[in-house]
């Protein structure tokens, strides 16, 4: 435990969350955007589906915690949408069950506190050709198609609209780039820096436009220890100091 306490932004999901600090990922970028303003907390689990998320929901987000997150960004669906294996094993979750699992996750997270905000990310597309060409010999055949991804994406979006929740349509957001197939992935599934930048842009758009009080957009949040000091850098006039609490190295990029 370190202080002062900052608002907590929790990233909760499968490998797209777990790897969000790799390859100039979207989690790392959010951390870069929110220094001195919020703590970005990673709870990502490679290979998980919505069933496994439900199994640990009370452990990751206990209702009796003294501090509850200000924001939870949730992503599950890519593994759920993988085609079923004949053995009955594997991550596939039927669409109707997936929707109900995500509903239960949303209900639990909404109950944490009146001020906990939620953003859901829908299932993004994949590069099917890359996946087919790079099959891992340790694994049984994996059926992962954009047809399935789209069905799970649309189902989550419909659920979030029904529940009045913020949701980002990653399936279509990623495909706005003409070169998305080659530019947005490292392996056909997980995001490259370019793909992650799209995720960040969409998240910031939601945070900027949401009517949440207080606002969770970085420009509206106070910086920690923002008061001026005679120990700050000396200004060009040689008589005063410059408060650097709001300085960043990406000025204008994430407005």
Catalytic residue among 20, 50, 92, 190: 190
The helix (run of H) or strand (run of E) holding residue 51 is helix 50-60
Would you call 229 a catalytic residue per the annotation?
no
Residue 168: DSSP 8-state: E
Terminal CA-to-CA distance of the chain, rounded, Å? 31
Q: At what angle do helices 146-163 and 95-110 cross, to 10 degrees?
A: 40
Contact 160, 103 (CB under 8 A): no
Catalytic residue among 14, 20, 50, 81: 14
Q: Determine the distance from the C-alpha atom of residue 29 to the mean position of all C-alpha atoms in its chain, rounded to a whole number.
A: 11
Q: Work out the number of other CB atoms within 10 angstroms of the CB of residue 210.
A: 14
Phi, psi of 173 (to 5 degrees): -60, -45
Contact 98, 152 (CB under 8 A): yes
Q: How far apart are CA 195 and CA 130, in angstroms?
A: 16
Contact 67, 5 (CB under 8 A): yes
Would you call 190 a catalytic residue per the annotation?
yes
Q: How far apart are CA 84 and CA 19, in angstroms?
A: 25
Catalytic residue among 58, 111, 134, 187: 187
Active-site positions?
14, 187, 190
């Amino acid at each position: 435990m370190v202080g002062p306490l900052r608002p907590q932004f929790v990233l909760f999901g499968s490998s797209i969350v777990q790897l969000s600090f790799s390859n100039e990922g979207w989690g790392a970028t959010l951390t870069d955007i929110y220094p001195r303003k919020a703590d970005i907390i990673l709870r990502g689990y490679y290979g998980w589906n919505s069933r496994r998320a439900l199994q640990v929901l009370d452990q990751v987000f206990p209702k009796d915690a003294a501090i509850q997150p200000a924001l939870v960004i949730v992503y599950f669906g890519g593994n759920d949408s993988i085609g079923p294996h004949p053995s009955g094993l594997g991550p596939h979750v039927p669409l109707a069950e997936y929707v109900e699992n995500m509903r239960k996750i949303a209900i639990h997270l909404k109950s944490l506190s009146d001020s906990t905000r939620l953003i859901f990310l829908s299932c993004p597309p994949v590069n099917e050709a890359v996946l087919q060409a790079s099959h891992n010999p340790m694994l049984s055949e994996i059926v992962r198609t954009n047809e399935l991804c789209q069905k799970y994406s649309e189902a989550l979006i419909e659920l979030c609209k029904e529940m009045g929740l913020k949701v980002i349509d990653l399936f279509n957001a990623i495909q706005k780039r003409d070169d998305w197939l080659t530019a947005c992935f490292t392996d056909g599934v997980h995001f490259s820096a370019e793909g992650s930048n799209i995720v960040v842009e969409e998240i910031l758009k939601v945070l900027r436009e949401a009517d949440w009080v207080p606002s969770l957009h970085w420009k509206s949040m106070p910086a920690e220890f923002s008061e001026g000091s005679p120990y700050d850098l000396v200004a060009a006039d040689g008589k005063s100091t410059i408060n650097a609490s709001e300085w960043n190295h990406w000025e204008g990029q994430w407005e």
